[in-house]
Amino acid sequence: MPDLIFAEGPVRIGELAARTGISARMLRYYEEQGLLTPERTSSGYRSYPDGAVSQAGQIRGLLDAGLTTEIIRTILPCLNDPEDVRRTIGCLPAATVELIRAELGRVQQRIDCLTRNRDAIEAYLANQPARR
């Protein structure tokens, strides 16, 4: 993903996609999920506000971390600083904190499974004769 480029003024979906490295299709999905809210121009084009570049980057990062769009939609209003997501916990409802904790448990289960798979593959390869 390219470095996020910040500029002043509203941008259209193609420009937002170019600045963030997130496809226009995925940006429309974010909109469908209530994660991004563009305005519409008089000709019907999406027009994203100034903060959409950093917000789209935050959304992508949270999705990459394994959070669901439901959780992201809940915590997004708390994310004022794209560089510091640690500040969000104080403003979250208890139910959302529990959802995040449950998601952390699921992520850990996936990590454990991947670790077991890696160990099994390493053991298999360690027992194979060297090929010439």
The single-letter DSSP state of residue 78 is: G
Q: What is the pLDDT of residues 23-73, one digit of tens each?
A: 999 999 999 999 998 988 888 888 998 789 889 999 998 898 888 898 899
- CA–CA separation, 72 and 34 (whole Å): 10
Residue 39 pairs with which residues in a beta bridge?
47
pLDDT of residue 1: 47
128 CB burial (10 A radius; 0-12, 13-18, 19+): exposed
The model scores a pTM over 0.85: no
Name the average pLDDT for the chain.
Answer: 85
Please say if the pLDDT value at position 98 is more than 50: yes
Q: Which two tokens stand for residue 74?
A: 């809940």
User: Could you give all domains of the chain from N- to C-terminal order, each with its CATH number?
Assistant: 13-126 (1.10.1660.10)
**Comparing 2 with 53, which gets the higher pLDDT?**
53
Query: Which CA distances in Å does 122 have to 13, 19, 110?
Result: 45, 40, 18
Confidence band of 79 (pLDDT split at 50, 70, 90): confident
